[in-house]
A and B are shown apart, each in its own frame.
Chain A
């Protein structure tokens, strides 16, 4: 990291802490924060000060009904699981070469969703529009969360695909999975991106789990999507530091939630 680069990022930390940066610049800063303790500490302090600014606003006692509304809302919601790997399930998209679809899959979903919303807005009369807007707001909030998730996944996928130590491993199907096609992109430092197509339905009550096997020791990379039956994708951070030697990536069927070590039949596998 050059001093100029550091100075250039340091110059944007206030804007970053205030969420004023466009997405690409925000990512640049976030990457830098991973490597620069000085800037990370600065951001931490800026956030603390900004939280302090928020706390200078006089509190407003909430109406009693709001408490009930909040608590009954929470009673119906599930918590998200602790984040160990990032994954998505089946991706519905026109067929394209697998290697080309990956970085764009997340972006395409967002673009489709946003276009759908935009189309609706244009198509409504003004009065209907007001009605739509409140629905869109709710959708917007949800989309925002999804976008955040997709952004993380796309970032990780891109960093795997562009990593200098990335190796591409085609997986061959066996038994009922001979027609399936899957390809793993494995970077020992960035993680694993696996895309699969034409996967058979897993046996009843089973899901697909992905393994990285080095030196005969399988380590779980994550789950491939419980619905299977088509296209699946897994984007995961490295399950353990890899040595860059010979490695096998395999997909087995396992009970829901997966297991720490494989127990089921190998459906697809590939080695380098």
Chain B
């Protein structure tokens, strides 16, 4: 399908959307906590996917991983912009819940690897999971996490590293 997308087949975008939009929206919503911003992120991600498909490199990971990586970057940018607005004294957009119920289409039910990572995330010591979530879902740097959690920078590093080592091991096993 990606080959069709890369050669300018616009119908392939519809297929790509049907297959991945719910995951992209889920992640965007998890990060921006606002359904209208999250929907904007979805639109930006698929438009970026369309534009950049001719230069997509399969060696960089799966299509879902590629879309989710774009979604994460864009969603975090939005959160930062919102933060800047808040710092400038402008009222932020309210947090809203998604306007539609979270019914999950068949094709996006978690695969085995996702199930393993989800299990492993649940098994992570809470302090490691918190550090990883702040880094991944909130896009905080290590020093920002240290400040937020009031812990030394070295500890942040260790926690994130241990969490990722644990998750990698769980995927391999």
Partner of A51, one of B8, B18, B61, B73: B61
Cβ of A120 to closest chain B Cβ, rounded Å: 12
Q: Given A14-B164, A133-B81, does the pair A60, B90 have CB atoms closer than 8 Å?
A: no
Q: In the docked arrangement, what's the CA distance between A126 and B91, Å?
A: 10
CB <8 Å contact, B121 and A56: yes
Q: Please give me the residue from chain A that is nearest to B22 by CB atom.
A: A59
Q: Please give me the residue from chain B that is nearest to A15 by CB atom.
A: B142
Q: In the docked arrangement, what's the CA distance between A269 and B18, Å?
A: 53
Q: In the docked arrangement, what's the CA distance between A186 and B46, Å?
A: 38
**Is chain A's binding surface mostly helix, strand, loop or mixed?**
helix
| Chain A residue contacts of B116, Cβ below 8 A | 52
A-B contact count (CB 8 A): 187
| Chain A residue contacts of B69, Cβ below 8 A | 47, 50-51, 54
Q: What are the interface flags for B142-164 relative to A under an 8 Å C-beta threshold, 1 for contact and 0 otherwise? A: 10000000000000010011001
Q: What are the interface flags for B52-65 relative to A under an 8 Å C-beta threshold, 1 for contact and 0 otherwise? A: 11110000111011
| Chain A residue contacts of B78, Cβ below 8 A | 137
Q: What are the interface flags for A50-73 relative to B under an 8 Å C-beta threshold, 1 for contact and 0 otherwise? A: 111111111111110011011101
Which chain A residues (19-61) contact chain B, with CB distance < 8 Å?
Answer: 19-20, 44-61
CB <8 Å contact, A83 and B55: yes
CB <8 Å contact, B60 and A52: no
Q: What are the interface flags for B103-120 relative to A under an 8 Å C-beta threshold, 1 for contact and 0 otherwise? A: 111001011011011100
Cβ of B133 to closest chain A Cβ, rounded Å: 9
Q: What band does the interface of chain A fall in when counting residues whose beta carbon is under 8 Å from B?
A: 35 or more
Q: What are the interface flags for B14-47 relative to A under an 8 Å C-beta threshold, 1 for contact and 0 otherwise? A: 1001100111011101100000001100111011
Cβ of B98 to closest chain A Cβ, rounded Å: 5
Q: How many residues of B contact A (CB 8 A)?
A: 79
Partner of B104, one of A55, A59, A79: A59
CB <8 Å contact, A74 and B68: no
Binding site for A on B (CB under 8 A): 8, 10, 13-14, 17-18, 21-23, 25-27, 29-30, 38-39, 42-44, 46-48, 50-55, 60-62, 64-65, 68-69, 71-74, 77-78, 81, 84-85, 88-91, 98-105, 108, 110-111, 113-114, 116-118, 121, 132, 135-136, 139-142, 157, 160-161, 164, 167-168, 171
5 closest A-B pairs by CB: A51-B65, A59-B22, A52-B117, A54-B68, A59-B26
17 A-B residue pairs with Cβ-Cβ distance under 8 Å, sorted by A, are A47-B61, A49-B117, A49-B164, A49-B168, A54-B136, A56-B110, A57-B30, A59-B108, A61-B25, A61-B100, A61-B103, A62-B42, A71-B14, A80-B52, A82-B54, A133-B84, A140-B77
